[in-house]
């Protein structure tokens, strides 16, 4: 399951949300894994491009849907994405490492209880509970799968996170280098 095209003779292109959310789910499909590539090359295919609805989705806020439709230039049909329904917990657990974790900034994962503004990461509310991992294992696994700190904090050079000189990592958040 690549998260992008339903292989049961369904030729529609499923958009899993805006930008990085789509890219996160569609990681293994080489033709349709990049949101902006689809936007540039297929945006005129009104009957071919649909907005994927599934239990792993990002709560499908109207804002996200509106942004996707605005960028594509038409209102996409919302379609249930069957490959992500009726999966067993072991199938879900097996699928999660295959998503494109490079799309997930470490800083979106590390705040277990939410940012100061009260926003709890979608990855921690939707994806983490499916794994049955404890907090420390979750952090180690997401790093193994490819999550790195966002550009606002620094860069990863040869597997080590190098913080920007004038930016400090929030003290209450786990340090990427420790996992």
Phi, psi at 94, each rounded to 5°: -70, -35
**So what's the pLDDT on residue 30?**
56
**So what's the pLDDT on residue 137?**
92
**So what's the pLDDT on residue 60?**
58
Residue 98 tokens, joined: 């295959």
Phi, psi at 105, each rounded to 5°: -65, 140
DSSP conformation letters of 68-118: HHHHHTSPPEEEE-GGGSS--HHHHHHHGGGS-GGGSBHHHHS-TT--TTS
Question: Is the pLDDT confidence value at 24 over 50?
Answer: yes
Residue 3 pLDDT grade (very low, low, confident, very high; cuts 50, 70, 90):
very low
Average pLDDT, the chain: 77
The larger pLDDT score, comparing residue 12 to residue 141, is at 141
pLDDT tens digit sequence for 97-138? 988 888 888 877 876 655 545 556 777 877 888 888 898 898
Rg, the chain, Cα only: 17
Task: Give the 3-state secondary structure of residue 51.
Answer: strand
**So what's the pLDDT on residue 173?**
75
Query: In 3D, which of 170, 6, 169 has the Cα closest to residue 84?
Result: 6
Question: Is the pLDDT confidence value at 14 over 50?
Answer: yes
Question: Is the pLDDT confidence value at 70 over 70?
Answer: yes
Query: How far apart (Å, rounded) are the C-alpha atoms in residues 60 and 25?
Result: 14
DSSP annotation of 57? S
Question: Is the pLDDT confidence value at 141 over 90?
Answer: yes
DSSP annotation of 143? H
**So what's the pLDDT on residue 140?**
92
Average pLDDT over residues 62-86: 87
Residue 5 pLDDT grade (very low, low, confident, very high; cuts 50, 70, 90):
very low
pLDDT tens digit sequence for 37-62? 777 777 676 778 889 888 777 655 78
């Amino acid at each position: 399951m690549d998260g992008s095209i339903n292989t049961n003779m369904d030729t529609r292109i499923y958009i899993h949300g805006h930008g990085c959310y789509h890219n996160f789910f569609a990681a293994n499909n080489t033709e349709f894994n990049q949101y902006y590539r689809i936007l540039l090359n297929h945006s005129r295919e009104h009957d071919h491009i649909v907005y994927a609805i599934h239990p792993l989705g990002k709560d499908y806020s109207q804002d996200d849907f509106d942004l996707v439709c605005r960028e594509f230039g038409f209102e996409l049909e919302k379609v249930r994405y069957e490959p992500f329904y009726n999966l067993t917990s072991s199938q879900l657990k097996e699928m999660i490492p295959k998503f494109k974790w490079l799309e997930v900034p470490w800083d979106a994962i590390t705040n277990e209880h939410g940012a100061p503004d009260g926003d709890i990461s979608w990855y921690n509310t939707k994806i983490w509970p499916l794994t049955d991992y404890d907090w420390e294992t979750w952090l180690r696994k997401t790093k193994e799968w490819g999550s790195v700190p966002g550009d606002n904090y620094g860069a990863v050079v040869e597997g080590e996170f190098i913080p920007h000189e004038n930016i400090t990592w929030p003290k209450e958040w786990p340090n990427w280098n420790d996992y």
